[in-house]
Amino acid sequence: MSLESVRYSRGSLAVLNQLLLPRESRYEPISGVREAWEAIRAMKVRGAPAIAIVGCLSLAVELHRAEAKEKEQLLTFVLDSLAFLVTSRPTAVNMARAAGELSAFVRREAERAGATSESIQESVIRWAEDLLMKDTQDNKKIGDHGARHLVRRIPGQPVTVLTHCNTGSLATAGYGTALGVIRSLHAMGRLAHVYCTETRPYNQGARLTAYELVYEKIPATLIADSMASVAMKEKGVSAVVVGADRVVANGDTANKVGTYQLAIAAKHHGIPFYVAAPSTSCDLDLKEGAHIVIEERPGEELTDLNGERIAARGIGVWNPAFDVTPCGLITGGIITEFGVFAPQELQAALAKFTKERSSNCPQKVSRDPSAEVEKEPGGCNPEQD
Contacts of 255 (CB under 8 A, 6+ apart): 164, 165, 242, 243, 244, 245, 275, 322, 323, 325
> Where are the extended beta strands (E) located within the chain?
6-9, 12-16, 27-29, 159-163, 191-197, 220-223, 239-242, 246-248, 253-256, 273-276, 282-283, 304-305, 308-309, 322-325, 333-336, 339-341
Give SS3 for 123. helix
- Amino acid identity of residue 152, one-letter, is R
Q: What distance in Å separates the CA atoms of residue 215 and residue 211, rounded to the nearest whole number? A: 6
Q: What distance in Å separates the CA atoms of residue 159 and residue 98, rounded to the nearest whole number? A: 35
Helical segments of 66-205, H only:
71-86, 93-111, 117-153, 178-188, 204
180 contacts 276 by C-beta, under 8 angstroms: yes
Q: Is the sign of the CA dihedral 53, 58, 61, 63 positive or negative?
A: negative
Q: What is the DSSP string of 310-324?
A: -S-TT-----BSEEE
Q: What distance in Å separates the CA atoms of residue 366 and residue 373, rounded to the nearest whole number? A: 9
Concerning whether 285 is annotated as a catalytic residue, the answer is no
Catalytic residue among 135, 138, 144, 245: 245
Contacts of 382 (CB under 8 A, 6+ apart): 338, 339, 353, 356
Q: What distance in Å separates the CA atoms of residue 14 and residue 218, rounded to the nearest whole number? A: 27
Burial (CB count <10 Å: 0-12, 13-18, 19+), residue 240: buried
Sheet holding 27-29, edge to edge: 6-9, 12-16, 27-29
Contacts of 117 (CB under 8 A, 6+ apart): 68, 69, 70, 71, 74
Residues annotated as part of the active site: 245
